[in-house]
Amino acid sequence: MNKDSASYPDPSGINQPMTPEEVDPQQKREQKEEMDRVGKGNLTANPGDRIDDSKSLQEKAQQVAVDAPDITGDHIVVPTYFVVDEPDGTQKPLHHVKDAEEISDVIRQARVDENGERIWR
């Protein structure tokens, strides 16, 4: 996904942070405070990776797992959940680690044309 894609609104009403500027500052502070308090080497999971089933779909859509520079110096943002549309019209949050296989399946389905033919890009 390119950096400009974040400027296009999602017709479903779910807008996920895709740039550092879109990440909730409070979420950034809370994650940093937890990492400082517990110590990066003592956490069993990144605070942004945690699964909280009491959160709403919108809250899960806003949760960020990664908000940091990568090895190339680009600043990357990875949502904890990817919200996908189900065939029945509902939306489902898929956790970027726990549901990685299902996310891959969704991506593969998105790359099949109306005749069921695989489209390679």
Pairing of strands 64-69, 81-85: unpaired
Share of the chain above pLDDT 70, in %: 88
**Who has greater pLDDT, 43 or 55?**
55
Average pLDDT over residues 63-69: 90
Q: What is the reported pLDDT for 63?
A: 94
* pLDDT confidence bin for 121, thresholds 50/70/90: low
d(CA 7, CA 4): 6
- The residue type at 22: E
* pLDDT confidence bin for 102, thresholds 50/70/90: very high
- Phi, psi at residue 68, to the nearest 5°? -160, 160
pTM, 2 dp: 0.70
